[in-house]
Structure formats: C-alpha cells, structure tokens
A and B are shown apart, each in its own frame.
Chain A
Amino acid sequence: MIQTNFDVLFQSLICILFSGALVAVLLHKLGRPIAWISFAIAFIGSLLGILLSIDVILNDPITLGWSLGTFFGEWTLYLDQLSAFFLFMVCLVMASVSVYSFGYVGEYEGKYDTGLMGALLNLFFLSLVLVVSSNNAILFLISWESMSLVSFLLVMYEGRKEGVTNAGYLYLTMTHIGTAVMTAAFLLMAYYVGSYSFDDISAASGSLPSSVSSAAFLFLFIGLGTKAGMVPLHVWLPAAHPAAPSNISALMSGVMVKMALFMMVRSFFEFLGPVPSWWGLLVLLMGCISALLGVLYALKETDIKSTLAYSTVENMGIMFIGLGTAMVFQSYGLTSLSALALLATLFHALNHAIFKSLLFLGAGSVVHATHTRNMESMGGLAKPMPRTSVLMFVGLLSMAAIPPLGGFVSEWLLFQSLLQTTAVPDILVKMLMSVSIAILALTGALAVAMAVRLFGTTFLARPRTEQAKNAVESPKTMLWGMSFLAALCILLGVLSSWIIPYIDNVTESVLGVSIGSSVVDGLSISPESNDFATMAPLLIALLALIGIVMAWVLGHPKSGTERTSGTWDCGTPLSSRNEYTGTALSNPIVRVFGNIYRPQSEIRTESTSSPYIRKRLFYEVHFGDVFERRIYHPITILFTGIAKRMTVIQAGSIQAYLGYIFMMLVLLLVVFR
C-alpha cells in the first residue's frame, strides 16, 4: 500500500515539474509572478523528491513502468538506493535554490525574461530527475542531452553580456564531444549485450570480453569526465559555470557535475563488471591531476565565480581519488575497503553539493550587491553584508575541511581509506597510493589558502570601489535559501555518525557489502576497525564550542578597557590601495608553483630623466590555462583550417546543393542495394 503511494509520489513529481515548466513557458510574458509560481513549483517538487529519495534509501527500489514499447526496449524509470542518493542531493540543493531565486530573480527584472528562467529551472530539475532515474541507455542519453541543452540555455541566459556567448558555445561543444563518446560506449555495450535496458546490461556484466569492457570504460570515463570537469577536459567548466546566473551556477557546480559521478559509479561497478586494477589507477591518477591543478588554478583567479568553478574541478578530482581507490580495492577483492572508499566519495559528493551551491549562492548575493564578479573590486563587504559573510564563511570552512564540518569528515574518511592501502600487494599501486596521499594533503592545504583568499579579498579590509562601499544586504529569501544550506554544512559534519549509515545503504546496493556497523560506533566514526582510528565529530564540535565560550569568558577585554582606533599606519593615512589584493595574497604560492602555472609576467618602467627615479612601474601578469594553450588552441587552429578548405564546396547556388544531395542518394543506393 505504502509502496504504491511512493510510486504515486514519483509520478506526481515528474508531472509537477513538467507542468511547472509548461505553464511557465506558456505564460512567460507575465514576468515575475509566473517566475515566482514556477519557483514555488520547483520547491514543492524538491520536497516531494526529498521524501521519495529518503524512502527509497531506507526501503526498496521503485520502478515506474511507463513502458512505451519503443524501438530500443522498455523505457522505464527506476530508482534504487544509488539513484535515490543522487536525487536526494539534487532536491536538497534545488529546495534552497528555488527559495533563493525568489529574491534573486529581481536582479533580472526588466532586463531579461524572468518567466523563462522559471520554466528553464523546472526543465533542468526534470532532466536531472530523469538522468538519475532512467533505466534504459537511450532514455538516459536523451535525458543527459536535455540536461546539457537546458543548462546551455541557462548559461546563455545573460546572453547580452560580454563573453557569455563564447562560454556557452565552448560548453556546448565540449559537452557534445562528451555525449558522443558516451553514446559510443553505450552502443558498444548494448551491441554485445543485445539490449539497451540497464537491467540487462548489468545482468550481463562480466560476460563482456575484457577488450570491449575496457574500451567502454575508457569511452565512458572520457565522456563523463568531460561533464565532471576532469583535467584536461575541464576547460569549459570555469568558463560556463560562472557565466550562468548564480542560482544556476549553484545547480551546475553543486549537482550537475555529480551526475557524471553517479553514472561512473553505476557503470564501472555495475555494468562493466569485474574491475581490473589499471582502471582504478587511471581514475586515481586523473583525480590527483584534477585536484592539484584545479586548486592551483583557483588560486590565481580574480573572478569570484571562476575561483569557485576551479574549486569544483578540484573537488571532482578528490572524488575521483576516492572512486579510483575504491576501484583499486575492488580489483584486489578487498570489498569492504572498497566500500569505505566509495562511502567517503559519496559523502564528499554530498558535502560538496551543499557547500559549493552555498558558495555560489553567496557569490550571487555578492555580485548582486556590487555588480561585479572581480573580487579585487570588492573588499570590506563583511560590514554592509554581515549575514551573507557569515553564511559564506560557513561554506568556506566546510570547503577548507575545517573540523567538524561536513567537508572535513569526508576528507577524513578519504584519508583513512587511502591509508588502508597496506592491504594491497602490488608495489606500483602502493607507490601511486602514497603519492595520492601526498597530493590529497597538498590539495587540502592549498584549498585552505584558496578559501582564505576568497573570503579575505571579498569581505575583509576596506572596500576598494564605490560599489563595494555602497553594497547592501541581500533580500530575505536569498538569505533563507543560503541559511538552509549553511545549516546543512554544519549538520552534515556534526551529525555525520547518524548520516553515514544511510550512505552505507547506498554503497551496499552498489558493492553488496554493508560496513555501516563497523564504521559507526555510537558517536564516533572509524575506518573498518576501532583500532585504526576513531573520530567523534559531535564531541569535537562540543569541545570546540566549550573552548570558545571559556576563552571568551576568561579572556574577553573587560568593559572600559577596549577602545577603537585606526589601523596602525606608520603615519601615512591608509587607503584601500595599501591592502593586499587577491593576486598579491597568492603571489608567493604562484611563485613557488611557477613551474605549473608558467605565468608570463612583464615589468615595465617609465623613468624620469634619471634612471634611478622612476615615475611609474607597470607589472603585468598573464596566466593562460596551460591546456588551453597547448592542446585546445592547436586543435582549434587545425579545425578552422580544415573548415576553410571545406568552404570550396559551399558554392552558394541551389543547384549545386541539390546536386550534392542527389549524389549522396545515388551513392547510398549503390552501397545498400
């Protein structure tokens, strides 16, 4: 009885989203009211989705039999624990994004079609739900493609702004390359299995020839890696995510990239059967590269949203490290260790979804207030926008993995699972694992630097421009949306010992091993056995709170002994030009890692008559993305070159075009006689 109710819930979720989109498309001329209605629909939808996914994680999978009886087999929708986990993530983020959008859409009032944004938001939501729930390769690819297309439209939403169109087309190209490669992978699998249904494919796992499954693995890894922003396929991500409106950036960076992770977990473990160790090592290696380069590039950005986008690249890298570790363990038959690594990965994915969308929403508020994305034109916003600053601070603490927030707990679990590699017999694996531990630690430290830089440059010291000085706090709905996520950031860490058993349900559905009872023991978390390590996030939080309160009681200045005065200025009045900018702050790090950045810097001086007295000093520094310069640029040149040659056939006369079609027709007839 209850089961059918949840079926109805699932059906109504899809219907609600679809009708929400439809209504908004039809009535988009009405502007803001219709946008509000569609945000409300998205909000209701996300609440339904949260209920639904919790039920599935706790109980049994749901299948929705809308058997369309099409050419490619049955098109059914199917929610198991893994897809429900990702649906849960989508809905959590969507709930707060839809609340946030109520206030945020005011930004576009009168400039862009606000009704359309509501429609696209609902469609985007719908496509995300379909991606996690489709049970057929073709349906999956269609949902995947519509997700990409809708997000492309949303990236292009502010199309009249400079650079947005370029970012949008770059995104479109890259995502299509990715989808093409993925399609090849699914066709390959379907060809050998003889069915497009995911049920049949996973039932046949292990029966595929190893060369075929390896080829499918590589195709899927490249295709999904494109979506996940894996270096070197990441170039679109730092361009497209910031170009979209901030509520959409939050969804793209928080949730959409996770869809790639979802499909990787599903296909690598369930479709492609026994995992050879080199798959895991490859994923691990790419993860290390993405994590390190992502955070390093984030440290050089001055655009607040690009910084966050590069940090997404970094965090996806961290998840790949976890996924790769899980695959390596799996290939050596160490299933419970594999489950630990996968659990860490999924928990990190959830944490990242929460804190990254919080940060993008926060960045949206900041941009909303200052009308610029350049951090170096901000500064001092903690005073006019205290609430936003605190909320973003929480997100940054989680991103920097400060205990006891969510980001820390998942990083802790990841470190622990990497440290269990003594169980693996292969020397090459051990070496790569020790290097990955080092890279994970290095990435963590650099992420702290990045979080500090983002907050310090945006919110602290003096305002650097007039806009920053005149900034005002964001509307209430935006703050509510962010507060929800900030609270989740804290709760996910502090209450992680209650949350992890549910994630364990998810890993159990993938790997068939439950480790929940050994990982969580009362308040504390431990990898495998209590002997190795334990950690109790709630107790850490309590101790830290007691510590802070005691420090305040014992050490706060007595009233009357505190006064306010100017910052020490050596006798010269300080202005905002004296304070450190983001570029200056990270300059030492950039110099240390100069081998990776290869910045092109130039110092020019304008001398007076005497060479010792200089009138002006110019310092210019350019950071190109190395991959853009070395890989993508030559490819672009090659293709435009070929395209130029091809223009010869474009004669411009209608007869010529008809002739081409005619020739093709004849050719086809001859070939397929």
Chain B
Amino acid sequence: MVHDMIISSVFAVVQALAMLALSPLMIGVIRKIKAWFQGRKGASIVQPYYDMAKLFRKETVVSDQASWVFRVTPYVAIASVMVAALLVPFFTIYSLGFVGDLIVVIYLMTMFKFFMVLAGLDTGSAFGGMGSSRELMVSSIVEPTMLLAIFTMALITGTTNLSSISETLAISGIDLVRPALFLATAAFFISLLAENARVPFDNPSTHLELTMIHEAMVLEYSGRNLALMEAASWMKLMLYSVILSNVFFPWGIATDLTVLGMIGGIAAILVKVLFVAIAIAIIESGMAKMRLFRLPNLLTLSFTLALLAVTSYYIL
C-alpha cells in the first residue's frame, strides 16, 4: 500500500514535470502547423522556450492600481495547474489519484480561472474587464460541460479517479464503448477549445482588443509574472489534451511498471497529444473566430451533447 503510494508519487511528479516541460513544445508544434497551412515557414517549434526564457529575464511592470490579488495570481495560477497535473495520468496510469479525482482537477482549473479573472479586473483597465466578462460567460457553460463529459466516462468505468478510468478502459478495452462515449468525446473536444481560448472561441495569436478574451485578461502582466501566466495557460492546454487522450482514448498507456510498457506509454501519449495538436491547428487554419454572441450556440451544443451523453449512459 505504502509502496504503491511512493511509486505513484514519484511517477506523478515526473509526469507533471514532463508535461510542464513539453507544454511549450505543443504550442510550438501548433504554431508550426498553422504556419504551414498559411504557406509560411514559421518559427522553430522550440520558439516558445526562447520566449519563456526571454520573459524571465525581462523587467516586470506592475500597475499602480493593482492590489494583492494581481500580485498573487501568477503563483496561484502555476501552482493550481501543477497540482492538477499531479492528479492526471500521463504516460503511465500512476498518478496521485488518491489525492483528488476528476472533480478536483476541474475545480483546480476553476481556481486558476477565478484568480485570473479577478486579476483582469484588478488594474481597472477596460480591456481587462472585457476579457474577464467574456471569460465568465464562456466558462460558465464550459465548466459544466467538461464535468458532464468526464462524468460519462466515470459512469462507464465506475470510478471518478482519472487514473482508474484510464486503467479500466485500457485493460477492458473496447468492450466498454457505448454510444455515450462518442457524444462525450465531441463535447469534451469543443470544451477543450473553449477553455483554452482557441479558435473559434478566441484567437490566441491576436492582440486586437475587441476580439480577444484570454489575452485581454493577462494584458497587464509583464516579465516574470507574464512568464508564469503563459506557462500556466500552456500547461492547461497540455493538461486538457492529456485528459482527452487518456480518458477518452487511453489505449497504449502503461498500466504496469515494465520498461517496455513505459516506452510504449510514452510513445502513445506523444502521438495522441500530437494528434490533438494537429486537430487544433487544422481547426484554427480552417475556421474563423466566431462573433462573441454566436459563441453560446456552440457552447450550448457541447453542453447538450454532454447532457445527452450522461443520459444515454443511464438509458442505453
């Protein structure tokens, strides 16, 4: 029992750090693929690492209107995503699942959002308020959708522990596939885009004030503070992609401690996350950002799908 816990803890820390280390790479890959679609050569896929290093060396400017909320937010942001990362299986099913389940993960993300939205308001700039206001609208529908989508998987596998969901699905395989799984996957993918401020919800590469959500909230951050906020957001994208990969398609994840299984697990998760990155890049190249008040249509679509997923599990 204790032995298991130690192994899980070690793996959890290694995996969380691996996710943190790889998250800028994922951003780099998405940007590169988008560049190809646009017929550009694009920056190197390691460019986000350079950006991060640069931001760490830069001077930090804090608004004179800012209160303590603005100052603590970057640390809370990175801490909440890292704690969440400890609870999510990455290349093995070993994680700190006994500390918290999927509800904890989603609510830790809410904690991140809670602080970030307040930080957006804190400096008294109209842009920050705009971003915060829109983020509240999007997240108030996305969050339940995410919960419902993962609950579907939890009900199918009989546990809300993310690691156990992956394990059960990976071992018992395709027998557990139900109609609900398809609906839930679709709902979760739409929410993933919304939650991480990707097209068609938000355009991550724009700084045009009137269209942006995420960028508007972190507009006042600079230097190391900005570096932490960006790292946290990238990490969040990574985390959701990993959840999508490991909860909905966990096949290939390492379920034991063999070396072969580990290597297989690492290869599998990298391929799966790469697929998510490609999917995001394709969507961003092929779609325009939606008008703000068109967003509820798409959000409600994902919510409805998630609701039907849970109900379909119960009925069918």
Contacts and interface: CB of A to CB of B under 8 A. Distances in A.
In the complex, are there CB atoms of A and B closer than 8 Å?
Answer: yes
A524 B98 contact: yes
A452 B100 contact: no
A642 interface: no
Interface stretch (A366-374, A553-561, A625-633): A553-561
B197 to A, nearest CB: 15
A449 B140 contact: yes
Interface string B96-109: 11111101100110
B59 interface: yes
**Dominant secondary structure of chain B at its interface with chain A:** helix
Given A547-B78, A548-B76, A585-B136, A383 B67 contact: yes
A563 B67 contact: no
B100 A430 contact: no
Contacts of B69: 382, 393, 459-460
A380 B59 CA distance: 26
B242 interface: no
B315 A427 contact: yes
Contact of A533 (B108, B125, B159): B159
A445 B80 contact: no
B118 A460 contact: yes
B101 to A, nearest CB: 4
B19 to A, nearest CB: 14
A656 interface: no
A30 interface: no
Contacts of B59: 557, 561-563
A592 interface: yes
B144 A442 contact: yes
**Dominant secondary structure of chain A at its interface with chain B:** helix
B44 interface: no
Nearest to B56: A555
Contact of A534 (B98, B110, B137, B155): B98
B292 interface: yes
B79 A557 contact: no
Interface stretch (A35-43, A230-238, A415-423, A599-607): A415-423
A571 to B, nearest CB: 13
Contacts of B225: 557
Interface string A212-246: 00000000000000000000000000000000000
B144 A567 contact: no
Given A448-B114, A455-B118, A412 B104 contact: yes
Contacts of B61: 562-565
Contacts of B103: 412, 415-416, 533, 535
A562 B225 CA distance: 10
A555 B78 contact: yes
A442 to B, nearest CB: 4
A555 B158 CA distance: 40
A112 to B, nearest CB: 34
A574 interface: yes
A444 interface: yes
Given A540-B99, A556-B224, A587-B133, A441 B65 contact: no
B148 A402 contact: no
Nearest to A439: B144
A434 B147 CA distance: 12
Contact of A567 (B98, B220, B303): B220
A591 to B, nearest CB: 7
Contacts of A442: 140-141, 144
Contacts of A455: 118
Interface string A418-440: 01011000010011011101100
Interface string A539-580: 110011001101110011100011111111100001010111
A380 B64 CA distance: 12
Contact of A445 (B74, B76, B141, B220): B141
Contacts of B83: 540, 543-544, 547
Given A419-B155, A434-B310, A535-B99, A588 B114 contact: no
Contacts of A524: 98-99
Nearest to A547: B79
A557 B223 contact: yes
A452 B132 contact: yes
Contacts of B219: 568
Contact of A437 (B108, B136, B310): B310
Contacts of A128: none
Contact of B151 (A435, A437, A561, A589): A437
A461 B86 contact: no
A647 B296 CA distance: 54
B133 A588 contact: yes
A403 B125 contact: no
B124 A578 contact: yes
Contacts of A589: 136-137, 140
Contact of A566 (B64, B104, B142, B161): B64
Contacts of B97: 534
Nearest to B227: A555
Contact of A430 (B142, B164, B315): B315
Interface of A: 380, 382-383, 386, 389-390, 393, 397, 400-403, 408, 412, 415-416, 419, 421-422, 427, 430-431, 433-435, 437-438, 441-442, 444-446, 448-449, 451-453, 455-456, 459-462, 524, 531-536, 539-540, 543-544, 547-548, 550-552, 555-557, 561-569, 574, 576, 578-580, 584-589, 591-592
27 contacts: A380-B124, A383-B67, A390-B68, A402-B111, A402-B114, A412-B103, A422-B314, A434-B307, A434-B310, A434-B311, A438-B144, A438-B307, A444-B143, A452-B117, A452-B132, A460-B121, A533-B103, A540-B99, A551-B79, A564-B62, A564-B64, A566-B64, A568-B220, A580-B129, A585-B121, A585-B136, A586-B136
Given A564-B64, A579-B121, 5 more contacts: A461-B65, A535-B104, A536-B98, A543-B83, A563-B61
